[in-house]
Amino acid sequence: MTAAPHPKPNPQQLDAIRAVVGPKGIIEGDDKAPYLTEWRKRWHGATPLIVAPASTEDVAKIVKICAAEKIAITPQGGNTGLVGGQIPLGNEILLTLKRMRNIRAVEPLNNTMTVDAGITLAEAQERAHEAGRLFPLSIGSEGSCQIGGVISTNAGGVNVLRYGNTRDLVLGLEAVMPDGEIWNGLKRLRKDNTGYDLKQLLIGGEGTLGIITGAVLKLFPQPAEKVTICAGMSNADDAVRLLSLAQAATGGNVSSFELMYRLCIDLTLKHIPDTRDPLGDKHPVYVLAEFSSGVGVGLRNSVESMLAKALEQGIINDATIAENEAQADGLWRIRHAISEATNGEGLGARHDVSVGTSDIPAFINKANKTVAAIAPGVRFVTFGHIGDGNIHYNVLAEEGAAKDALNDKRATIEQAVYDIIGEFGGSISAEHGVGRHRREDIAARKSPVELNMMRAIKNALDPHGIMNPGKML
């Protein structure tokens, strides 16, 4: 499916939209630039108009005008997406949710919070914390990404193993559908079997089926005890074994389980100040894991015995347990800085892929061999959320090479990695989504049956194709 050829809106149409929001809701002139470039400067766009409605009703009025006039719309949250889904291609109006910032309700006894789409993830976390609860979603951009965008992209992050993806953390949605009708699906319910679960289409729908304006989020009890460890081992097989041991020993109290190959540590120590090698010796592979429990006692003992057993069985070579918050932060600092650390080493080929957790070692081995055959001497900066089967598989040119050394081989490497992902029944975009970036890859690699289902749903709910055209499908 190609994007429907939406014409540039004419001045009268744009005036009608401006009249809905008034001067406060129009972003003009030089103020437009930050909305039209993605933060890494990778995706650039253009738009005839940026509107910032302040209410769901105003969003509906705008979409009604657009539906009647076949004007296309790109919704935008915090503009932190990595695949260009939030950047208009040219004729779409850009609708930012930034002025919709109400916390509509916080209900600790119901473990729910009802919010406007425009609050940041960090604000949602803070408001939950103030109410003595936990909103567990945590991603690098949490200070600026917005709840609406987080939901539209089904964001993942470091706590998925324990608490699930965004999809698992949303109980209800309010959205403006492509015909401009407001759908009130703001249910605060854990159980509701009265028809198709429509919110699931908008979650991860990348704004192609409607504009999310509000959401009911699931809250959790705050954990009473946290234990953070780092372990060094010989290979990824042992990392998978350690995960199994850790889950058995703590019965599912593993919150995060992150894999890092040694090169991740080396580059971080080289480029990022105030980082230090987590263990005395160097090891080929590291695991950074966090355990949390509500019981308040016993967790540290369980983790200690588990690590002793892992040492005894030869699964790990060494391990450290953070003695306090500062030590835990130091370990996490390495993990969080890997992306930044690789930026100093030139632009490689990056992949955000997933396979079954137990397939991770075989995938990495096969991908390394295949990529090395395409581009001898490359370096592999492999890390990720091993408990979710999600690997950030990044390839860098050899040390000292020019920054653009991999440019002409990038596409070949990517397609080869995706071929291997296909063999393992994996996903070529585990967390980051499709947007503009992976649109053609999806079209080429999904089965015709699945593509037809997706297109049938898109056509059924957005027959004029006005919602975020040119993205996802």
Q: Considering only residues 258 through 317, tell me which ones interact with a copy of itself, judged by CB under 8 A.
A: 292-299, 301-302
**CA dist., res. 256 & res. 46, Å (int):** 39
| Closer CB to a copy of itself, 53 or 433, in the complex | 433
Alpha-carbon distance values, 364 to 54, 233, 262, 335, 419 (Å): 47, 16, 14, 19, 13
Cβ atoms of residues 86 and 45 within 8 Å: no
Q: Using CB under 8 A, which of 116, 123, 290, 359 touches a copy of itself?
A: 359
Question: In the range 115-144, which residues lie near a copy of itself by CB under 8 A?
Answer: 132
Which residues, numbered 186-205, are part of the site for a copy of itself (CB under 8 A)?
A: 186-198, 200-201, 203-205
Site for a copy of itself in 14-73 (CB under 8 A): none
Count CB neighbours of 429 within 10 A: 20
Contacts of 326 (CB under 8 A, 6+ apart): none
CA atoms of 151 and 209, how far apart (whole Å)? 13
| Per-residue interface string for the shown chain with a copy of itself, residues 369-388, x marking contact by CB under 8 A | ----------------x-xx
**Which residue, 19 or 453, is less far from a copy of itself as judged by CB?**
453
Residues 421-460 that bind a copy of itself (CB under 8 A): 425-434, 438, 442, 446-447, 449-450, 452-454, 456-457, 459-460
The residues in 141-160 that bind a copy of itself, with binding defined as CB under 8 A, are 153-154, 156, 160
Q: Residue 4 in contact with residue 458, Cβ under 8 Å? A: no
Q: What values do phi and psi take at 116, rounded to 5?
A: -70, 160
Interface pick for a copy of itself out of 25, 53, 118, 185 (rule CB under 8 A): 185
- Kindly state the smallest distance separating residue 153's Cβ from a copy of itself, in Å: 7
Nearer to a copy of itself, 203 or 265 (CB): 203
Q: Which residues are CB-neighbours of 269 under 8 A, at least 6 positions away?
A: 275, 276, 277
Nearer to a copy of itself, 99 or 188 (CB): 188
Closest distance between a copy of itself and the C-beta of residue 227, in Å? 11
Nearer to a copy of itself, 209 or 334 (CB): 209
Nearer to a copy of itself, 47 or 74 (CB): 74
Q: Can you tell me the distance from the alpha carbon of 9 to that of 74, in angstroms, rounded to the nearest whole number?
A: 14
Shortest reach from residue 169's CB to a copy of itself, in Å:
11
- Per the CB < 8 A criterion, the answer to whether 193 and 223 are in contact is no
Question: Which residues touch 238 (CB under 8 Å, ≥6 apart)?
Answer: 285, 315, 316
Structure tokens at 68: 């009647």
Query: Quick check: 472 binds a copy of itself (CB under 8 A)?
Result: yes
Site for a copy of itself (CB under 8 A): which residue of 4, 70, 164, 275? 164
Give me the least distance between CB of 226 and a copy of itself, in Å please.
10
Task: Name the one range near a copy of itself by CB under 8 A: 32-40, 42-50, 277-285, 349-357.
Answer: 349-357
Helix axes 236-250, 299-312, angle to 10 degrees: 140
How far is the CA of 208 from the CAs of 374, 427, 458, in angstroms? 36, 20, 7
